[in-house]
Amino acid sequence: MAKALVAAAMGLSLAVTPALTATAATNTPYVTKTEFARVKSGMTRTAISDLFGTGGQTRKHDGRSIWKQYRIAYGDKDYAVDVFYAKDRGGVFRVESWVAVWTHWANQSQNPATKSEFSKIKRGQSVDKVRDIIGSAGSLSFDTHYNFGDGLLHGKSYLWPVPDNPSKTYIGYGDVYVEFDRNSDGAYVVTHKDANW
Instruction: Determine which of 3-12, 46-55, 102-111, 162-171 has the lowest per-residue pLDDT on average.
Output: 3-12
Exposed, middle or buried: residue 90 (CB in 10 Å: 0-12, 13-18, 19+)?
exposed
State residue 160's pLDDT score: 94
State residue 165's pLDDT score: 65
Statement: residue 180 has pLDDT above 70: yes
Domain 115-196: CATH class, spelled out: alpha beta
Give Cα separations from 162 to 94, 159, 169, 182 (angstroms): 41, 10, 11, 26
Residue 156 and residue 190 in contact, taking contact as beta carbons nearer than 8 Å: no
- Per-domain boundaries in the chain: 9-97, 115-196
Q: Give me the mean pLDDT over the 128-153 stretch.
A: 93
- Residue 166's pLDDT band, with cuts at 50, 70 and 90, is low
Statement: residue 136 has pLDDT above 60: yes
Confidence (pTM): 0.80
Statement: residue 38 has pLDDT above 60: yes
- Residue 151's pLDDT band, with cuts at 50, 70 and 90, is confident
